[in-house]
Amino acid sequence: MSGDPRENPERQAPLHGAASDSGPAMKNTSNGPRLLPAELQNDPKAAHDALLHWDAQDEQILRLLARHPEHGGRLHTLQRADGWLRQRAADAIVARNHPGASGPGPDLLACPTPDELYDFAGGPGAVPLVRERVLAIDRHLAACQACDGFAATLATAPPAALLVGADGSLEQLPAPRLHPRGAPAPVRRFPVRRVLVPLAAAATLVLAVGVWRAFTPVATRAAWPAAPVLRGETAHALVWPRGRVLERSPAVERFVPALAAALPFEVAAESGPVRIQLFRTAGGAFDEPQLVAEWVDGAGSPPALAAGHYTWKAWTKERGLEVELGSRDFEVLRDEALLRELAAILEGGGDDAGVRAVACLDARGFRADARALARTLPASPERDAYLGRAPGR
């Protein structure tokens, strides 16, 4: 070890050069694994690791853990234990500031401003704070988990800005030269073994997979679309529509009559009436949204929407107070080719024509329409699972 006070005490110094772990700031957040939701359900060790490093998990993982019959209680206790420790720190800060106590400086329980926290945590271009303020913020972090977490996000330096390519200057860069000017490029013999042997192996593998698939009996050729692997927020109250939506045009009525009904607006589990406002935008960042329609869910219905960009906002009432549920964007598109494709699938007939049409819409990103079409199909466990799955992000 080099004796550098910033070095990691748990690691050996590398053989050559400066210590690799003597960076500007060691990350004091957990190095615990960031998990996929499915892993939590199937792997007890993954769930244990997630609990052990619960403060490094995102909100979706925490919600999954909290809902679990077994892990939920454990998570709650671990969080309360952390809260209890931080409350002790807060009590100590209050006691130190109590009149008559001889405190070392102006302690605080109120959170510091983001600018102060940035300077304290040493973000790029941080301005040194006076020592008393540093000590006060340091002490505050013992009592406040949120600020502690914010400060930890500055442990890794940001990437450098992309300086080429943004204004076409990429083309102006000199092309890399593989060989020194003047020196002839070496002539090499065709590497038979290095190229042909892997090619032959790959061809055999492809052939084997093809033969296996051709002779494997398949129960049904169509399958309901599988849920994509998603991480992150899933509890956004405004669920559908989102992403791409087909315009309800005369062509829709002709080709896919099941989609001719008005687009349903779905809000997650709200007990009270939901007020919805629909705005139209030009799709740009600086456009002023224009109010298109406003209705109360259940007492009104959305209008027919022309192609374009839209944003919808929703409010509900909690104990007499109106609470905003959030906003979500979607885009209404006219896609005649897709409609013809859907019509061909549906006209082709077969038991699974509807499922294939749903899968087609889902694969093209028209997932709100895929759900609308799925609702018109006969009920089945697969259909209900499809309609009941979390939309993810």
Partner 1 sequence: MEELELVAGLRERRDDAVRTLLERYRALFFHCIGSFEADPAARDDLHQEVVLYVLERLDAGSFDPEKGSFGTWLYRVTWCRCVDLKRKAGARRTPKLTPAGDKVPERADLAPGPGEEAGTEEIGAIVQRGMAHLEAEDQRLLLLRYVDARTLIEIGAELGISVEQTKYRLKRAATSLRRVLLNDFAIEEAVR
Site for partner 1 in 234-253 (CB under 8 A): 236
Least spacing, CB of residue 322 vs partner 1, in Å: 12
Q: Where are the alpha helices (DSSP H) in the chain?
A: 37-42, 44-52, 59-67, 71-97, 114-121, 131-143, 145-152, 192-215, 250-255, 336-348, 353-363, 367-375, 381-388
Query: Residue 132 interacts with partner 1 (CB under 8 A)?
Result: no
Rounded-to-integer distance, Cα 298 and Cα 322, Å: 17
b/e per residue 183-215 (b: at least 16 CB within 10 A):
eeeeeeeeeeeeeeeeeeeeeeeeeeeeeeeee
Binding flags for partner 1, 198-237, as an x/- string (CB under 8 A): ---------------------------------xxx--x-
Residue type, 96: R
DSSP 13: P
Given 101, 110, 146, 185, the residue binding partner 1 (CB under 8 A): 146
The minimum distance between CB 115 and partner 1, in angstroms, equals: 6
User: Bridge-partner residues for 276, per DSSP?
Assistant: 295, 314
Determine, following the binding rule CB under 8 A, whether residue 82 of this chain makes contact with partner 1: yes
In the window 182-201, what residues touch partner 1 (CB under 8 A)?
Answer: none
Interaction of residue 58 with partner 1, rule CB under 8 A: yes
The correct pick among 187, 214, 218, 285 for binding partner 1 (CB under 8 A) is 285
By CB under 8 A, is residue 59 in contact with partner 1? yes
Contact call for residue 145 and partner 1 (CB under 8 A):
no
CA-based torsion, 173, 177, 183, 185: positive or negative: negative
Q: Which of 67, 88, 334, 340 is in the footprint of partner 1 by CB under 8 A? A: 88
**Residue 10 found at the interface with partner 1 (CB under 8 A):** yes
- Give the pairing type, strands 321-333 and 308-318: antiparallel
Residue from 286, 288, 379, 381 in contact with partner 1 (CB under 8 A):
286
